[in-house]
Structure 1
Amino acid sequence: MAVDQEDEDVAIVDPPPLGKLGPRKCEMAVDNIENKVAFGVAYEEGGEMSTTIHGVPLKAGFIHVRVDGSIKGDALVPVPVVGEIETVDQAIGSHLAWPRDMIIFSPTVEKKKKAKVQGELQRVHALFNSVNPKEDVPPRFRVLYKFSKTMMKESGSSIPVPCDAQVFGMERTIYLLEENVTVLLEFNMIGQAVISTYMAYLHSGFRDTPGRDLSSSFAFLHPATYMLNDKFNAYVVQRLKEGVNRMNFMPFNYNLHWILVVIWESEIFILNSLPHYPHPDELEKALMRAVRAHNAELGRRCPKQPGGTECGYAVMRFMKDLVEDPDMKLLDKWAARSRKTYSNADLDIVRLETLDYIQSIM
């Protein structure tokens, strides 16, 4: 590609080919590539985020995008949700399918002159120092907070968390975006990426437990957005076959609330940290079909969350407590003590463990 004649000390480098990177910032066009209407993030790495949208498989030639802002707000999106998301303005903050040939990735700019490099470093350094971490950010994570709010936010980069096939039954990489790291640092509501990372952290310690190889006792199912269909059933059955006597954990987002499904010895336990929350009947039916069981235990008693937004942290704490119980009797103990509530301090432990793990792999 030609160098800009007005700034000969700047070289433009074409972006890597599609399919080689994780989430990346992009612009989106309609009708023709010059007609840019929106900007956001494209998920192009292999895995659930790049092959489905709201649990529905993407059609050939389409890519999973998140719309962050509009260039032409009244432009029509290529794959609308009729009556809800039809224009770019309506799509802001949403995840959509977008034609692959209408995605524009910005080229990287390599600055050759030392003076310009130093100027950029000074700007970033000043920006880094200007960030004031919030009170909920522990002192040892303040550098990570500044890194997230500056470097990650400006570049659209992510922190990759590689997982081998033993973690979820398939090799995959979790990509922690700036917003994932920030909500965890600020003790706000978390989602799939953070919970998956905590599961990877728990698995990393399985073989390090003195006297116990926990990988033969516990297993994880990835907390993706599932359609309760034959593909879901096949995945559950696959994980159960890999370890007949293992306790299997599957976080599941039900009506924007995280619950933990535990499958153990042909029984299904649904751990819900909110009292009086609707029971996930369709999920239970799908799981019963998958494990060929008829004795699912409805509304299993378990500790509750202290407020209204800590469900993800409660799911992580459920898994921690069950993994660390040497007698594997905690489900029965919880059933006998239905009034237990996790404190913020209880949930903060798993938050800090996750942050320590993220820092250790960077």
Structure 2
Amino acid sequence: MGTFIAWPKDLIAVRNNILNQVFSAPKRAKKGLAKKIKKSCKLIDEKLNQCLLWTWLSKEAFGLTKKQIMFLSDIHAVCSRGEMAGSVICLYIHFLNDYAKKNKMSSMISFVDPSTIGATGGGNATQRSHALAARFKVASKGEYFLMPCNDVNHWTLTVVNSDTEIVYYMDPLKRRIANGEWGVPVQTGNKDCGLFVMRYMKEIVHDKELDFVTKGSATLSLCSW
């Protein structure tokens, strides 16, 4: 419950014309068929290694129900502090949303689906604006929206209070913006920006008082990864 295991390959039944040919082929032809079978099985192995699991994200997290696919490479990236796929970010948001709900913070914290606002897959600027407008329309008074965004292979986090029209921008590369910058931990590698953005969101959601608003440029902690 709540985890996954590798499914044994010998328990998977594969329907394949090549396998059916083995039983009817003459003895001298079976050697050539064996090579075809080996090649076919190798292809099957590659497909099994690529696709790991599907997961459905609840309507509460993004205001809609959506399906995500996870790959083995995504899990490797998490373990090795590599590039985070949008599906990993979304799945993590799903668990943060459950935490917020459990601690009665649902009216304080909400999330925006990164696939609707990112540079890739989010459509043009007008479409992304409409997606944000639709999400903000259901906002409660004083509610904060956490918006992880991937802009050309780099993750950043924007926190928006649509009621007061205040925006907080957090960049793991600590690139400056016109109104200054927030004191957030800076990424240490070339590909771990996604992990740092996930950490920013965790720090915010786990702070029931939402102190990041009043602390200004105070640094978010990195006490426990």
TM-score, normalised by the number of residues in structure 2: 0.70
CA shift for structure 1 position 190: 1.7
| Runs of 4+ that moved beyond 4 A | 1-5
Determine the structure 2 residue equivalent to 1:44.
none
* Aligned residues of 1:158 and 1:177 also touching (Cα < 8 A): yes
Identity %: 18
Does 2:22 match 1:7? yes
Q: Which runs of 5+ in 2 are unaligned?
A: 1-14, 25-44
**Cα distance in 1 for residues equivalent to 2:196 and 2:81:** 12
Residues 156 and 188 (structure 1), Cα distance of their counterparts in 2 relative to 1, 3 Å cut: closer
Aligned mate of 1:317, from 195, 199, 223: 199
Does 2:99 match 1:218? no
Residues 175 and 299 (structure 1), Cα distance of their counterparts in 2 relative to 1, 3 Å cut: farther
Q: Which runs of 5+ in 1 are unaligned?
A: 10-150, 280-296, 350-362
CA shift for structure 1 position 271: 0.9
Does 2:215 match 1:333? yes
CA shift for structure 1 position 253: 1.5
* Aligned residues of 1:153 and 1:178 also touching (Cα < 8 A): no
**Cα distance in 2 for residues equivalent to 1:196 and 1:2:** 36
* Aligned residues of 2:203 and 2:220 also touching (Cα < 8 A): no
Determine the structure 2 residue equivalent to 1:158.
52
* Aligned residues of 1:306 and 1:342 also touching (Cα < 8 A): no
Residues 2 and 249 (structure 1), Cα distance of their counterparts in 2 relative to 1, 3 Å cut: closer
Aligned mate of 1:176, from 70, 84, 100: 70
Does 2:142 match 1:261? no
* Aligned residues of 1:161 and 1:175 also touching (Cα < 8 A): yes
Determine the structure 2 residue equivalent to 1:304.
185
What is the one-letter code of the residue matched to 1:163? L
Pairing 1:21-40 to 2, within 5 Å after superposition: none
* Aligned residues of 1:314 and 1:342 also touching (Cα < 8 A): no
Determine the structure 1 residue equivalent to 2:171.
272
Higher relative contact order (CA 8 A, sep 6+): 2
**Cα distance in 1 for residues equivalent to 2:179 and 2:124:** 19
**Cα distance in 1 for residues equivalent to 2:16 and 2:195:** 50
**Cα distance in 1 for residues equivalent to 2:167 and 2:97:** 21
Pairing 1:1-362 to 2, within 5 Å after superposition: 3-4=17-18, 6-8=21-23, 154-209=48-103, 213-224=104-115, 225=118, 226-245=122-141, 246-264=143-161, 265-275=164-174, 277=175, 279=177, 298-308=179-189, 309-335=191-217, 337=218, 340=219, 343=222, 346=224, 349=225
More strand as a share of residues? 1
**Cα distance in 2 for residues equivalent to 1:229 and 1:158:** 33
CA shift for structure 1 position 155: 4.6
- Number of aligned residue pairs: give it: 184
* Aligned residues of 1:272 and 1:302 also touching (Cα < 8 A): no
CA shift for structure 1 position 207: 2.5
Name the Cα RMSD after superposition: 3.1
* Aligned residues of 2:55 and 2:68 also touching (Cα < 8 A): yes
Q: What CA deviation, in whole Å up to 9, does each residue of 1:286-324 have, x standing for no partner?
A: xxxxxxxxxxx8344131224133211111111111112
Moved more, 152-161 or 324-333: 152-161
Q: Secondary structure at the match of 1:327?
A: coil
Residues 200 and 314 (structure 1), Cα distance of their counterparts in 2 relative to 1, 3 Å cut: same
Residues 157 and 333 (structure 1), Cα distance of their counterparts in 2 relative to 1, 3 Å cut: same
